Structure 1
Amino acid sequence: SYDQAFLEQYEKIKDPASGYFREFNGLLVPYHSVETMIVEAPDHGHQTTSEAFSYYLWLEAYYGRVTGDWKPLHDAWESMETFIIPGTKDQPTNSAYNPNSPATYIPEQPNADGYPSPLMNNVPVGQDPLAQELSSTYGTNEIYGMHWLLDVDNVYGFGFCGDGTDDAPAYINTYQRGARESVWETIPHPSCDDFTHGGPNGYLDLFTDDQNYAKQWRYTNAPNADARAVQVMFWAHEWAKEQGKENEIAGLMDKASKMGDYLRYAMFDKYFKKIGNCVGATSCPGGQGKDSAHYLLSWYYSWGGSLDTSSAWAWRIGSSSSHQGYQNVLAAYALSQVPELQPDSPTGVQDWATSFDRQLEFLQWLQSAEGGIAGGATNSWKGSYDTPPTGLSQFYGMYYDWQPVWNDPPSNNWFGFQVWNMERVAQLYYVTGDARAEAILDKWVPWAIQHTDVDADNGGQNFQVPSDLEWSGQPDTWTGTYTGNPNLHVQVVSYSQDVGVTAALAKTLMYYAKRSGDTTALATAEGLLDALLAHRDSIGIATPEQPSWDRLDDPWDGSEGLYVPPGWSGTMPNGDRIEPGATFLSIRSFYKNDPLWPQVEAHLNDPQNVPAPIVERHRFWAQVEIATAFAAHDELFGAGAP
């Protein structure tokens, strides 16, 4: 009874004793994970991400479908709006933004020791075609989008705007130093830097080389999360309409539409330069109108400005690199074709209509000979408009990149990005029957099933799904038709029992099976759901993991480790020193008070004889992915399903 499995999982997630949320004045903020000592994209389990908030919406939307109660979805959006969408006090100088001069160019560097990177005023940048129409449409100069990372418990102690107060949750950031900066090599810093901590210039001169540093605020949006929020609201509207309750969420639809309108910043080159054959920072021209738009969901958009309102300035950037795993064709469909979600701005609907087609083409272009979807493309080779290798494949003049955005580890090696993307393609196929989506899935689904074991003979205890992938070759340059890409290949090199990835794969297979009638896809999905049920515990569903801690205490060695520029010194709010020779752990000494630390320390002291501890983790996104997979089965194949 998968509908009951959904409610059981839902109740575990929402139970305060389980530890998935922290409450602030009646509003819930999801943690990245129940467990605290976890280092992946966030570097602490009690941080949270915009991804987690989008999954919080997903959880409550399905709850509304199952129960008819839409208040929890309203509460989730209110929490998101309160805590992770910066408010007026968080972004105070947007009125000083000049769309004709959106930002000063700063080249990305190949490694952390290339930072701080210089501001270069002689490099041409383009015009921002969105700012004026957004401000006139919504009556504000502020951005309505999520920042990607919050310190929910204020573990670092930055407080509000870096002032060191006990203000939680706190806006923070980590990644700032190029494609090879892994999480182990990051220096956390406040999103709003008033120079209370760090060095004399706060944290700014770790990242940018300038003559004069000003106290400032800056935020980074993860388009994957905002697009998922729109995707969720598409489904919420469908379900509420079936119940005759669409008026109960009409206000939320307006807000999701607005978020989608601002999400268009992710469609533009980082410095609004022209798309296509953009080689040479000084020679590649700035764009005019929409010729700086690639119309894909890139890795981020960012915005910032000065704290001093008497000497105000502000900036905005898009992103030149797009990853297959961030595309969301269902959100693009909803924003362009569903009246309740179509943006109010003059060009928003058309931009999303263009993006809808462009994203589907992008996935066709990137589909390997085996079926897996390769990495992505960039308009700025090496993040500095460098000269790409000769003969590199192109997509609308952008260059193929098998590991877009970050390289340590390679960004498209994780199978999770396959299922995050393909679930949306499968939902689009289910809703519309789109022939392009069908063709992509017809090739991807058998490849995924081939490498999946539901372990039915053992009750699912030893199930496995793909984990790490390896890529070789490149796609054919895109000319408008999928060629089969005979020179682009993928291999599955490892497997896991990642419960979130498993649930997302099951959802993908179910939506595909419902429209196509593929019985193998449905049987595989149900086998995966049963395997997940075999791993229930008191607070959710989890399987054993043995994470590596080997880079926890690595100082800079000339190629990797934590890099601090020579002569730079400063402090974290708790007094931890930031200086050459520092490590991930030394600037996060609070980890030595973590319950898991004694086992990790014993392993680090004697790695040959003391193995890394085996743990079970309950990531919020994964637990919600599981819950919604159960609910999706009930929606598609339950007693009342169409």
Structure 2
Amino acid sequence: MRSPAPAPARWRAPAAALTAAIATAALLSPGPAQAEEPDPAVVFTPSALSLLQGETATAGVRLATSPDDDVTVTLAADGADGDIAIDGTTELTFTPDDWYTPQPVTVASADDSGDPATASFTAAAEGHAPDTVEVTELDAETTAASEAEFLQLYEKIKDPASGYFRDFGGLLVPYHSVETLMVEAPDHGHATTSEAFSYYLWLEASYGRITGEWQPFNDAWASMEQFIIPGTADQPTNASYDPQSPATYIAEHPSPADYPSPLDSTAQAGQDPLADELSGTYGTDEVYGMHWLLDVDNTYGYGFCGDGTDDAPAYINTFQRGSQESVWETVPHPSCETFDHGGTNGFLDLFTDDENYSEQWRYTNAPDADARAVQVAFWAQQWAEEQGNGAAIADNVANAAKMGDYLRYAMYDKYFKEIGDCVGASACAPGSGKNSSHYLMSWYYSWGGALESAQYPWAWRIGGTAVHQGYQNVLAAYALSEVDGLQPDSPTGAEDWGTSLDRQLEFLQWLQSADGGIAGGATNNWGGSYAQPPAGAAQFYGMYYDQQPVWHDPPSNRWFGFQVWNLERVAQYYQVTGDERAGAILDEWVPWAMANTTVGTGGDFQVPADMEWSGQPDDWTGEPTGNAGLSVEVTSHGQDVGVAAALAKTLLYYAAGSGDTEARAMGEDLLAALSANADGIGIATPETRADYARFDDPYDASSGQGLYVPEGWSGTMANGDPVNADSTFLSIRSFYEDDPEWSKVQSYLDNPQGAAPEFTYHRFWAQVEIATAFAAQDELFG
């Protein structure tokens, strides 16, 4: 039996987006390079567009297969009496070198007061099957302003020229950001995360509500299944998994310098109560959940299953070495470990100390993203059924319920130990039944196993170490426990989620400070090694309060974004159900958030950025106490557009549920300020990145900062960059020196006393957060 590498973590730079990062990773799902070769055809992406009268919209055209010679594609209109027309050339040329790159086709609506029109445009080429895009005009006078804002931003996001997606055979994969020089949780802008896929679903669900077109939502789910949910070939030895012995224990440690960490078979894991139920329900031993990180462009060069080919996207992983490991201290590695890169044992012996190393696959799930996918499926179901279109997305609503069934692994102690007063890896009792479940959303769950070629196949599964307030999702718990079509098929899935709904609400009540903000979280596994927690640590169902669960560089609950990601879900749940518990939490949180937010003129706004916490909550006894000994101070403000949009949505949903006119006014003022910061491809504000001084930091034993590689360890990245004790973040990512914006960073490294470099980033999640905030305003008040 083998287990994953120890503690996953996730790092977030000030005023930067935060995405899911966790423990271990896995094989690449078969992408276009592995798929059966399609017939020659012309491809429109997307297959449908909506645009306001007098506006334009853009689709992409490409070929499905590589041609032998140049191919001319001709564009022709099929209707609309000229109200909608192609704006620009009607001929496109593709070569054997660029056939796969979408070329933009812009359609324009006439600026008239006539009835909205529809049109279709066909792209055809000799020897190729044609394709068609359907275009629908929307009345500019009767379309609400916020709906129009959504559609305009939607078109920018979906415009191939904007650069938010890469097209793989007609399926789109969102990048983390348009810009490539980007270091936060993903260490490159053209990586992507399960978080981004969940936001992609949200974008298309909102589009379906406004336009009645649901194929883009189904396409987004299909892309998610193809590229970031492991397929059958990607988890080949799950049948060897033993639920009575889920994984071998490996202690986590605070610093990367404490690794590799030895396997310890004397600390017994508990029983996994889900595996047999899930395999019996779905007829498979596979896990239906997203892995958290993809190298979309195969920038690192690991390729499919670490084979070093050009196949993309490729599963990779980064964080694996304790709570102090920031993104600047990670060694990116292929999730499918075949020992073809790194050192003698690939990269495994940087993380685990073992007598024998085996070729293996590893995946890690970010529960926040999977829960958001369920949350979005709930809204999609509501909106589609209101239109009479429920059948159009019923299959993927069922898939969301299935995903939620497997998401219960996030409710469990990492090694299925009993919940409560769990101290000592060997002393803490192994769980049986469901007494190892805390019914909250932990930071991850993971699974993996030997490659199919292994002589002795094996597989493992684990829950998570810590529970962060920012990962809870009461709306998803409500949907999975009470909503027809979203209740899981397993015998106990809906019941477990009903328990989780109550437990999550209690958790937020327990963590709410006297000021209103929600504090960090809790763990059943202190320090990742079942260590003795600090004396007097507050408890929640026997779990210990942790001010900074999961990672410490910087403290994990410092970023205000985690407040709005969570409370937005609480506000949506409150607006849907009227649950007084959710209302009471928001009644305290909303005034605190508003008191720390300002909206000026000309697009100026300031939302909380960083926070500092003091004290701890009272022990939980079943009712909120007010937590007089727990407080929070907002220490800095900023113009993070994604955070501002999430705050606006939170305020709007709260206002819709409570009738609070001041919350609605501030929510709408924030949207107006965001709209004033529009540019050619989205909505963005400049940000200063002083943390980029860490690009070339050598390891410093006194501070623990810098990339740590043990003395004597040596290996190579796929591109040949050496990995050894002298390596830095930059030296094992030499591709950054060819980035078009690298000169800004190099100048700062050459003169660290000078001004820090400034960037304007277009993060995918933030753009979708803004777009769906406009859509929410339209839905609730438009």
- TM-score of Structure 1 vs Structure 2, range by shorter chain: over 0.9
Aligned counterpart in structure 1 of residue 408 of structure 2, from 264, 267, 273: 264
The alignment status of 1:519 with 2:661, answered yes or no, reads: yes
**1:459 aligns to what?**
602
Structure 2 matches for 1:142-181, cutoff 5 A?
142-181=286-325
Using the TM superposition, give the Cα deviation of residue 556 of structure 1 relative to its aligned residue in structure 2, in angstroms. Answer: 1.1
- Which residue type is aligned with residue 594 of structure 1? D
Say yes or no: does 1:552 pair with 2:700: no
Which of 488, 505, 530 does residue 672 from structure 2 map onto? Answer: 530
The equivalent of 1:136 in structure 2 is 280
Match of 1:398 among 543, 552, 563: 543
> Equivalent residues in 2 for 1:206-217 (5 A)?
206-217=350-361
- Give the Cα–Cα distance (whole angstroms) in 1 for the partners of residues 745 and 711 of structure 2: 30
Say whether the 8 Å CA contact 1:172–1:191 is kept in structure 2. Answer: yes
**Which amino acid in 2 is paired with 1:323?**
H
**Aligned counterpart, 2:570:** 425
Aligned to 1:291, the other structure's residue is in SS state coil
CA drift at 1:294: 0.5
| Correspondence for 2:128 | none
Cα distance in structure 2, aligned partners of 1:617 and 1:606: 23
Could you tell me how far 1:555 is from its partner in structure 2?
A: 1.5
Shift of 1:71: 0.1
The aligned counterpart of 1:280 is 424
Equivalent of 2:515 in 370, 389, 393: 370
Does the 8 A contact of 2:359 with 2:454 survive in 1?
no
Higher fraction of helix: 1
Q: Residues 53-92 of structure 1: CA distance to partner in whole angstroms, max 9, x if unpaired?
A: 0000000000000000000000000000000001122111
Report matched runs for 1:468-547 at 5 Å. Answer: 468-547=610-689
User: Which amino acid is 2:627 matched to?
Assistant: N
Tell me the residue number matched to 1:450: 595
Aligned positions of 1:295-310 closer than 5 A: 295-307=439-451, 308-310=453-455
Q: Over residues 164-204 of structure 1, what are the superposed CA-to-partner deviations in whole Å (9 max), with x where a residue is unaligned?
A: 01110000000000000000000000111111100010110
- The residue aligned with 2:7 is none
1:540 counterpart SS class: coil
Q: Is the 8 A contact 2:204 2:216 kept in 1?
A: yes
Q: Distance in 2 between matches of 1:222 and 1:450?
A: 32
Structure 2: how far apart are the matches of 1:151 and 1:141?
26
Instruction: Find the counterpart in structure 2 of residue 238 from structure 1.
Output: 382
Asked if 1:196 is matched to 2:312, the reply is no
- The answer (yes or no) to whether the contact 2:246–2:460 under 8 Å persists in 1 is yes
Residue 362 of structure 2, aligned match among 197, 218, 223 = 218
Measure, in 2, the Cα distance between the counterparts of 1:161 and 1:400: 39
Contact 1:463 1:531 in 2 (8 A): yes
**Counterpart residue number, 2:749:** 604
Asked whether 1:356 is paired with 2:501, we answer: yes
Q: Name the SS of the counterpart of 2:266 in structure 1.
A: coil
Residue 700 of structure 2 aligns with an amino acid whose one-letter code is: D
Structure 1 residue ranges, 4+ long, deviating more than 6 angstroms after superposition: none
User: Is the 1:90–1:192 Cα contact (8 Å) retained in structure 2?
Assistant: no
Paired amino acid for 2:225: E
Alpha-carbon distance between aligned partners in 2 of 1:555 and 1:581, rounded to the nearest angstrom: 7
Q: After TM superposition, list the pairs within 5 Å mapping 1:404-415 onto structure 2.
A: 404-415=549-560
Q: Report the counterpart of residue 434 of structure 1 in structure 2.
A: 579
Question: TM-score, length-normalised on structure 2?
Answer: 0.81
CA distance in structure 2 between the partners assigned to 1:519 and 1:254 by the alignment: 37
Once residues 418 and 444 of structure 1 are traced to their aligned partners in structure 2, the CA distance between those partners, rounded to angstroms, is 9
**8 A contact 1:93–1:309 mirrored in 2:** no
RMSD: 0.6
Counterpart-to-counterpart distance in 1, 2:262 and 2:500: 33
Q: Kindly provide the amino acid, as one letter, of the partner of residue 173 in structure 1.
A: N
* Secondary structure at 1:468 match in 2: strand
| Pair 1:416 & 2:561 matched | yes
Deviation of the 1:459 alpha carbon: 2.6
Secondary structure in 2 aligned to 1:45?
Answer: coil
Deviates more, 1:75-84 or 1:88-97: 88-97
CA-CA distance at 1:612 after TM superposition? 2.1
Would the aligned equivalents of 1:123 and 1:282 in 2 still touch at CA under 8 Å? yes
How far, CA to CA, are the matches of 1:324 and 1:117 in structure 2? 28
Report the TM-score when normalising by structure 1: 0.98
2:248 corresponds to 1:104: yes
2:724 to 569, 579, 586: 579
Report what 1:617 is aligned to.
761
Q: Distance in 1 between matches of 2:542 and 2:548?
A: 18
* C-alpha separation in 1, matches of 2:738 and 2:560: 33
Q: What secondary structure is seen at the aligned counterpart in 1 of 2:344?
A: coil
| Paired residue type of 1:481 | E
> What is the alpha-carbon distance in structure 2 between the residues aligned to residue 606 and residue 491 of structure 1?
33
Q: Could you tell me whether the CA contact under 8 Å between 2:608 and 2:638 is conserved in 1?
A: yes
Q: Deviations along 1:582-611, whole A, 9 cap, x unmatched? A: 0000000000000111111011011223x2
Aligned residues of 2:693 and 2:748 also touching (Cα < 8 A): no
1:309 Cα deviation from its structure 2 partner: 4.6
Asked if 2 retains the 8 angstrom alpha-carbon contact of 1:92 and 1:309, the reply is no
Read off the aligned partner of 1:506 and give its amino acid letter.
A
Counterparts of 1:453 and 1:288, CA distance in 2 = 51
SS of equivalent residue, structure 2 residue 509: helix
> Higher strand proportion, which one?
2
CA distance in 1, matches of 2:545, 2:774: 37
CA distance in structure 1 between the aligned counterparts of 2:380 and 2:753, rounded to whole angstroms = 52
SS of 1:16's equivalent? coil
SS at match of 1:552: helix
- Aligned residues of 1:267 and 1:295 also touching (Cα < 8 A): yes
Q: Which residue of 1 aligns with 2:467?
A: 322
Partners of 1:593 and 1:148 lie apart in 2 by 27
Return the alpha-carbon distance in structure 1 between the equivalents of residues 591 and 751 of structure 2. Answer: 44
Q: Deviations over 1:454-499 (max 9, x none)?
A: 11xx233x21100000000000000000000000000000001000
| Structure 2 SS opposite 1:343 | coil
How far apart are residue 320 of structure 1 and its match? 2.7
Q: How many residues align?
A: 634
Q: Secondary structure at the match of 2:205?
A: helix
Q: Could you list the per-position Cα deviations for residues 5-49 of structure 1 after superposition, in whole angstroms to 9, with x for gaps in the alignment? A: 000000000000000000001100000000000100000000000
Q: Deviations over 1:312-334 (max 9, x none)?
A: 10000001310000000000000
Is the 8 Å Cα contact of residues 234 and 334 (structure 1) preserved in structure 2? yes
2:709 alignment counterpart: 564
> Max radius of gyration: which structure?
2
> Alpha-carbon deviations, 1:233-287, whole Å to 9, x = none?
0000000011011111110111000000000000000000000000011100110
1:414-453: CA deviation from partner (whole Å, max 9, x where unpaired)? 0000000000000000000001000000000000000000
Q: Is contact 2:688-2:756 (8 Å) kept?
A: yes
1:312 correspondence with 2:457: yes
